[in-house]
Amino acid sequence: MKKIRFIDLPAELVAGTGVLLEQLDLCEDAKGTPVTVKSGDKLSVSMSNGTVAITYHRRCEFFRALSYLPGVLAGDAAVSEKNDQTTLCLMADCSRNAVMSVEGVKRELRYLALMGFDSMMLYTEDTYEIEEYPYFGRMRGRYTAAELKELDDYADSLGIELIPCIQALAHLERALQWKIAFDKVSDTPNILLVGEEKTYEFIDAMLKTCASCFRSHRINLGMDEAHDLGRGKYQDKHGYRAPAEIMLEHLGVVTEMCKKYDFKPMIWSDMFYRMAFGGAYYVEEGDVPAEVMAKVPEGLTLIYWDYYTTEKRRARFSHMVESHLKFPNNEVMFASGAWGWSGFAPFSRFSLRSAEIQLEACQKYGMTDWIITSWGDNGRECTNFASLPVLLYFAEYGYSGKPDTDRLEARSRACFGIGFEELLTMDAPNDMADSTEGPKNPCKYLLFNDPLEGLMDAHMDPATISEGFASAEKRLAALADHPAFGYVYRSLAALCRVLVRKCDFSVRLRNAYLAGDRATMAALADETDIIVNDLDAFVKVFRKQWMTENKPHGFAVQDIRIGALRARLLATADRIKEYLDGTVPSIPELEEPVLPMKTCSVENPYIREHGWGKVVTTCIL
């Protein structure tokens, strides 16, 4: 551990510095190398005559500068960076069952600080405590007010603004399921009832809670994907009204409410486009009607989100940026995606290809507010830290321009203690699928593909799929002993071990049944025992991953899903044996034709389907 001695370290940097030094293998000592600290117009780290000099413009730049300190002490070249970004923010999803633990968020904040991020959002639909509404977030792992204040203090000590990120219109189905508490404020099962006094009492309680827990004067109100706005109780009460009118009325009321708490609000922008273009968000031509743009409340920031940019969609992305910049009264932020919301493994390579195109356009159009979203759709099986390579790419792009491979590798080791390519190895469980035009997630849908019904059997290449998972297992297992991230690689490797046999089990069983190959069917019945044993081993390390990063709430869903898979494997073995011993004359499920769930090609049969309920059965769950 290298020893250093700070000279003139400002008081506002002391706490955060203490938090980060151990992670950097540094310690303070009266006999250590002197390190001077002063504010300036840029970030720089240099060494001269045995003394290190750090300058910084914003606090977040100082903590990024610390990540260069070990290298400069070891003789690396001096560093000088000028950051023109006004916002560099991670939005972490804490609403799709996996609610990051307080320690998990703190770990994330330390990584963000070393990269130079200035802000973070915890996306909380109903996973924060509102004192007046005890059913809000009940048994969901919601953050208490004390926890949020603790995290806000911790973030601030690292130069990071913790921004409340909530929902004030849609995506509230987990809360609104409690009719005993929220029936009078619900329009549809996931959308609030606009115009209802009790709705605004509820929203006021949200805002009051956020104001009491966060220093930030910015707040993300959500309001995206409100597809059925005004079509439930609202229509029963008021008759049909154009969704755009309802949206603008609600926005006007809520943005005015924000002034009471000195909040500057922002929302996701998609609803303005969906209402103008028949439900579509992304368009290659055309704009939101000028009369609608003019009515969007002044001072409301719009967030253009796009997680799907590819080379073929480059022109579309540029058009959407240009279109957003035409709103006369509103600033615009851009939100990209660090794909980790389609199963157990991320799609960082796809995210990086998208980011390269997106950031070129952002710089061209002068968009300097960047959010990187890390969603958790359908249960958030993926580690929260899978987003690190994408976050690093955005940080390096913002601070020093488009980074090359060598820079990313060096910065990854400096900030995280692991190589960039090693982090990208987390993609391995889906590498057999071509995700050039969009993520494909066989490692999730083939795990839960029913061993007897095989609804996903059309979406694999049986000739290569097992070998693909075997190869992925070897690559992941090679990193299983990493001191900080080994638990993630062990979990993903164990998943791939299950899939080596499970992935094409239903295909092999159907083929044997239709061919009258009783010996192979008997062998497959025995093979289920091996798969179940591998599945049990996977659950053990997967639970370890979850509990290392998240609160325990939400893992019940994983127990239910994986437990159901285990039961179906055992039931399938019984059904095979009953057929072979003559107890039953046939297995009807194996006589059904194989049909694709989605359009695909013979060359690339893989798809993206992250909905567990769609994969396991066509029957009512």
pLDDT digits (tens, 9 = 90+) for 146-177: 999 999 999 999 999 999 999 999 999 999 99
pLDDT of residue 328: 96
- Strand (E) positions, 410-467? none
Tell me, letter by letter, the H, E, C secondary structure of 229-269: CCCCHHHHHHCCCCHHHHHHHHHHHHHHHHHHCCCEEEEEC
What's the whole-model pTM score? Answer: 0.98
* Cβ atoms of residues 88 and 119 within 8 Å: yes
Residue 75 has pLDDT above 90, yes or no: yes
% of the chain surpassing 90 pLDDT? 99
pLDDT of residue 29: 96
pLDDT tens per residue across span 90-140: 999 999 999 999 999 999 999 999 999 999 999 999 999 999 999 999 999
| Residue recorded with tokens 């509102």 | 130
Mean pLDDT of 466-483: 98
- What pLDDT band is residue 508 in, cutting at 50, 70 and 90? very high
Neighbours of 216 (CB within 10 A): 19
Mean pLDDT of 446-455: 98
Q: Mind listing the domains of the chain with CATH numbers?
A: 2-81 (3.30.160.230), 87-417 (3.20.20.80), 431-616 (1.20.120.670)
Mean pLDDT of 471-485: 98
Three-state DSSP class for residue 612: helix
Residue 254 has pLDDT above 90, yes or no: yes
- What pLDDT band is residue 215 in, cutting at 50, 70 and 90? very high
Mean pLDDT of 193-221: 98
- C-alpha separations of 500 from 469, 470, 471, 472, 530 in Å: 5, 6, 9, 10, 11
In the chain, the N- to C-terminal Cα span, in Å, equals: 56
CA gap 266, 205 in Å, rounded: 18
Mean pLDDT of 260-281: 96
Residue 602 has pLDDT above 90, yes or no: no
Residue 618 has pLDDT above 90, yes or no: yes
Average pLDDT of the chain, as a whole number: 97
Mean pLDDT of 76-89: 95
pLDDT of residue 603: 86
CA gap 450, 446 in Å, rounded: 8
Residue 225 has pLDDT above 90, yes or no: yes
Residue 359 has pLDDT above 90, yes or no: yes
pLDDT of residue 546: 98
pLDDT of residue 457: 98
pLDDT tens per residue across span 276-321: 999 999 999 999 999 999 999 999 999 999 999 999 999 999 999 9
Strand order in the sheet with 26-28: 26-28, 2-7, 33-39, 51-56, 43-48, 79-81
Mean pLDDT of 227-255: 97
CA gap 452, 584 in Å, rounded: 15
- C-alpha separations of 232 from 125, 178, 242, 494 in Å: 21, 17, 13, 45
pLDDT of residue 32: 97
Burial pattern 55-70, b for ≥16 Cβ within 10 A else e, equals bbbebbbbbbbbbbbe
| Tokens coding 447 | 């795990």
